[in-house]
Structure 1
Amino acid sequence: MKEEMLQEEQATTETTQEATEETGAEVEEVIEVSKEEELEVKVNELEDQLLRVQAEMINMRNRNQKERELAARYRSQDLAKELLPAIDNLERALETEVTDENGENLKKGVEMVRDSLLNALNASGVEVISALGETFDPNLHQAVQTMPVSEGQAPDEVIHELQKGYKLHDRVLRPTMVIVAQ
C-alpha cells in the first residue's frame, strides 16, 4: 500500500512538473509575444520621429533657400534708398536756369552724374514709377493735393508730379508724390 501511495505521489509529481513546464513554456511564449509587440511599437514610434525630423529638415532647407533668394533679389534696397535724395538734389540742380557757357557745362556734368546713378540703379532693378497722366494708385502714389477736374482730365488722374517715386522689382522704395484731379 505504501508502494502504491508512493507511485501515486510520483505520478502526481511528474504530472505537476509536466504541467508546470507546459505553463512555463506558455508564459515564456506570451512574454516573447508581448516583447515583440513592444519592440514593434517602439520601432513604429522611432520611424515616425525619423520621418518628422526629415520633413522638418526639408522645410528648413526650403525656408533658408527662399530667404537667400529674397536677400539676393533685394540686396540693393538700402543703397537705393540712400541714393534717392542725392538724385533728387541733382534733378533740382538741373532745373535751374543758366545763362553762360560755364553754367551750361556744369549743368551737363550734373546731368551725366545723375544719368550714371540712374543707370546703376536700373541695373540693380530699381525703376522710376510713372505717374503723370496715370490713374491714381495708392500703392504707388502719394496724393499731396487734389485739384478740381478740368477739361480733358479724368477723375483720379495724376495731373502733376512733385517728386519721383521708385520701386525695386515689386517693392515700392518711395511712392511718387502727386497732385490728383478730383
Structure 2
Amino acid sequence: MSTNNHNEEEELKQNQAAAEQAETQAEETQNKEEANEELTSEQKLEKELEAANKTIEEQKDKYLRLSAEFDNYRKRTMKEKAELIKNGGEKAISAILPILDDMERALQNAQKSEDIQAVCEGIELISQKFQKVLAQEGLEKMEPVGEAFDTDFHEAVALVPAPSEEQKGKVLDCVQTGYKLNDKVIRHAKVVVAQ
C-alpha cells in the first residue's frame, strides 16, 4: 500500500507540477498579449501623432500661402492707390486743355482786335465751355439765394435784419459761390443771412 501511496503522491506531484507549468504558460501568454495590446495602442498613438503632425504641416503651409497672398494683395492695392493719387487728375486736366488753348487764342486775338464786344463774347463762350466741362466732371454750382440757411452748405459772413417775416433765416445774397463735387461740398457758399 505504501507503494501505491507513493505512486499516488508522485502522480499528485506531477499533476501539480503540470498545473503550475500550465499556469505559468498561461501567465506568460497573457503578458505577451498585454504587451502586444500595449504595442498596438502605442502604434495607434504614433499613427494619430503622425496624422496630427501632417494636418499641422498642411495648415501651416495653407496659412503661409494665405498670408503671402494677402501681403501681395495689400501691396498691389497700395500701388494702385498711389497711382490713382498721382494720376487722378489726368482726366480732368485732359478735359480742360482745349479750354486752355481757347484762352490762349482769345488773348492773342484780344491784343490785335479793337472790337471789345467781340472779345467779351469770345471770353463768355470760353467761360460757358469751361463750366460745361466742369459739370461733366461732377462739379455743381450752388445757388443759395432764397434758400433757408444751412450750415452744411452755407457760411454766413453777415447777418442783416429781415425785410419781411417770411425771409427770416433765409439767404438774401451770395458773396462767394459755393461748389459741390459729386454731391460733396468742396467749398461752402459765403452768404448774407436775414435775421
Secondary structure at the residue paired with 1:149? coil
Take 1:41 and 1:129, find their aligned partners in 2: how far apart are those partners? Answer: 68
Question: Once structures 1 and 2 are overlaid, which stretch shifts more, 134-143 or 5-14?
Answer: 5-14
1:111 aligns with 2:124: yes
Distance 1:34 1:147, change over 3 A: farther
Alignment partner, residue 99 of structure 2: none
Unaligned runs of 5+ in 1: 84-100
Which has the larger Rg?
A: 2
C-alpha displacement of 1:111: 1.1
Counterpart of 1:165 (choices 178, 183, 192) is: 178
CA contact (8 A) 1:127 1:166 kept: yes
Higher-helix-fraction structure: 2
Name the CA distance, whole Å, in 2 between partners of 1:129 and 1:168: 11
Alpha-carbon separation, structure 2, partners of 1:133 and 1:38: 81
Kindly state the Cα deviation for residue 110 of structure 1 after the two structures are TM-superposed: 1.6
Deviation at 1:25, TM superposition (A): 1.4
Instruction: List per-residue Cα deviations over 1:95-146 (Å, max 9, x = no partner).
Output: xxxxxx8222222122111111111011111111120111111111111111
2:144 to 131, 141, 147: 131
Matched positions, count: 148
Q: Which residue number in structure 2 is paired with residue 21 of structure 1?
A: 33
Please give the residue correspondences for 1:40-55 in structure 2 after superposition, counting only pairs within 5 Å: 43=55, 46=59
Higher RCO, 1 vs 2 (CA within 8 Å, ≥6 residues apart): 1
Shift in Å at residue 34 of structure 1? 7.9
Q: Give the Cα–Cα distance (whole angstroms) in 2 for the partners of residues 35 and 178 of structure 1.
A: 82
5+ residue gaps in structure 2?
1-12, 97-113
Q: Structure 2-normalised TM-score? A: 0.55
CA RMSD of aligned residues (A): 4.4
